[in-house]
């Protein structure tokens, strides 16, 4: 496939640009374009690379005459109109494993922050207070962590939290009991999980089956004081139901890196973020130097593989719309 000219529309790490250039591919970086500007600019490029800022809409795809591949330097491809790309035979690919460790490490940090009230205690001390009794926490050792979604990130979280002495249980429709047991997770049905879990962390994509997965009914079946963590996608946990559970004391705390709407403006989301029992971060799961370099390089490697000219880079490991490859 000819990939001679690539447009980079978001701030991807320079490692991506350099690798493409080293392989004779022209790269133009034009950041912060509006939808209309991108519609004007896209023509003439065979490749487009974005992170999460640029929305690759049907209009943009329709305006492109030469476009053959769209790369997302990251995992989630919800900012790309995949049906529109697929209809035009355009490959959409991502960097599937590039930020797993970073997202996993943030999840584990948030679990420990919740256990020991680290964030509120630090804020209180900075405000000049000395409130040792108020911020007494509890140990993670011997507690049960439920992991919903046992893919790349879920599995890494399990392995790390086992080192803290947590029992790990979980659910995933495609991971078998035997496969889960290989990394010491007891696979169970969701209804069995809710009453056992002290902590619940979600690591699924946001799809129809996972939207509002943690809702009023699930929360009502949980142990009193259960802590909820979401470093996956906003919408997997129903925000209004979570807020209600926090206010009613059913939920003992929550750590949220992702929201239904980002940046959040909705009243419920803002109330959730402001709640004393909530630790909230602005979608930082993949925001590490290491992950940004890794995802940038993974996308560049696959673009080079598409040209068929490299002996080193030959694998297309992140194609999201595989049907296009068969055409
Ligand atoms: N906060 C961030 O910045 C950040 C960074 C990286 C990834 N993510 C998100 O984390 C999530 C997990 O990423 P990953 O790389 O581990 O993905 P993955 O594809 O490796 O794993 C996801 C797992 O979820 C499972 N799953 C699907 N439907 C399910 C359901 N109904 N119930 C339970 N499990 C279900 C899948 O079978 C799969 O094993 C994704 O939503 C991704 O977008 C967020």
Strand residues in the chain grouped as ranges (E): 5-8, 26-29, 47-50, 69-72, 91-94, 144-148, 167-171, 186-187, 199-202, 226-230, 251-256, 278-280
pLDDT of 327 reads 61
Atom 12 in ligand 1: residue holding the nearest Cα: 203
pLDDT of 326 reads 76
For the domain made up of 100-280, give the CATH fold.
Rossmann fold (3.40.50)
pLDDT tens for each residue of 102-149: 999 999 999 999 999 999 999 999 999 999 999 999 999 999 999 999
- % of the chain surpassing 90 pLDDT: 98
Look up residue 120 and give its two tokens.
Answer: 């509120």
Q: Find the 36 Cα to ligand 1 centroid distance in Å.
A: 32
Give CATH 3.40.50.720 domain extents, the chain: 5-98+289-326, 100-280
Atom 19 in ligand 1: residue holding the nearest Cα: 151
Paired sense of beta strands 186-187 and 199-202, if any: unpaired
228 bridge partner residues: 200, 254
Averaged pLDDT for residues 309-313: 95
Is the CB of 232 inside a 6 Å radius of any atom of ligand 1? yes
pLDDT tens for each residue of 199-244: 999 999 999 999 999 999 999 999 999 999 999 999 999 999 999 9
Catalytic pick from 72, 233, 239, 294?
A: 233
- pLDDT bracket for residue 245 (50, 70, 90): very high
**Ligand 1 binding pocket mutation candidate from 103, 155, 156 (most atoms within 8 A of CB):** 103
68 flagged as catalytic: no
pLDDT tens for each residue of 7-37: 999 999 999 999 999 999 999 999 999 999 9
283 flagged as catalytic: yes
Q: Find the 157 Cα to ligand 1 centroid distance in Å.
A: 12
Given a cut of 80, whether residue 46 has pLDDT beyond it is yes
- Name which CATH class applies to 5-98+289-326: alpha beta
């Amino acid at each position: 496939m000819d990939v001679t000219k690539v447009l980079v529309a978001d701030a991807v790490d320079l490692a991506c640009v350099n690798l493409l250039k080293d392989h004779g591919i022209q790269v133009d970086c034009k950041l912060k374009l509006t939808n209309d500007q991108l519609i004007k600019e896209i023509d003439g490029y065979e490749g487009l690379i974005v992170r999460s800022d640029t929305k690759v809409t049907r209009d943009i795809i329709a305006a492109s005459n030469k476009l053959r591949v769209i790369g997302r330097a990251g995992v989630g491809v919800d900012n790309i109109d995949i049906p529109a790309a697929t209809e035009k035979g355009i490959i959409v690919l991502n960097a599937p494993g590039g930020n797993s460790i970073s997202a996993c490490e943030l999840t584990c940090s948030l679990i420990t922050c919740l256990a020991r009230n680290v964030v509120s205690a630090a804020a209180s001390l900075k405000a000049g207070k000395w409130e040792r009794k108020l911020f007494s926490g509890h140990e993670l050792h011997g507690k049960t962590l439920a992991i919903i979604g046992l893919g790349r990130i879920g599995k890494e979280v399990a392995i790390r939290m086992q080192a803290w002495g947590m029992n790990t249980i979980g659910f995933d429709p495609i991971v078998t009991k035997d496969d889960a047991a290989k990394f010491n997770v007891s696979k169970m049905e969701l209804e069995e999980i809710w009453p056992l879990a002290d902590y619940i962390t979600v690591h699924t994509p946001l799809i129809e089956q996972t939207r509002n997965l943690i809702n009023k009914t699930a929360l009502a079946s949980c142990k009193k004081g259960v802590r909820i963590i979401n470093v996956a996608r906003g919408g997997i946990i129903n925000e209004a139901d979570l807020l209600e559970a926090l206010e009613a004391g059913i939920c003992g705390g929550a750590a949220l890196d992702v929201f239904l709407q980002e940046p959040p403006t909705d009243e419920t989301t803002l109330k959730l973020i402001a709640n004393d029992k909530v630790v909230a971060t602005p979608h930082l799961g993949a925001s590490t130097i290491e992950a940004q370099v890794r995802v940038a390089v993974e996308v560049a490697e696959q673009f080079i593989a598409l040209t068929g000219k490299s002996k080193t880079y030959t694998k297309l490991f992140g194609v999201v719309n595989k049907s296009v490859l068969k055409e």
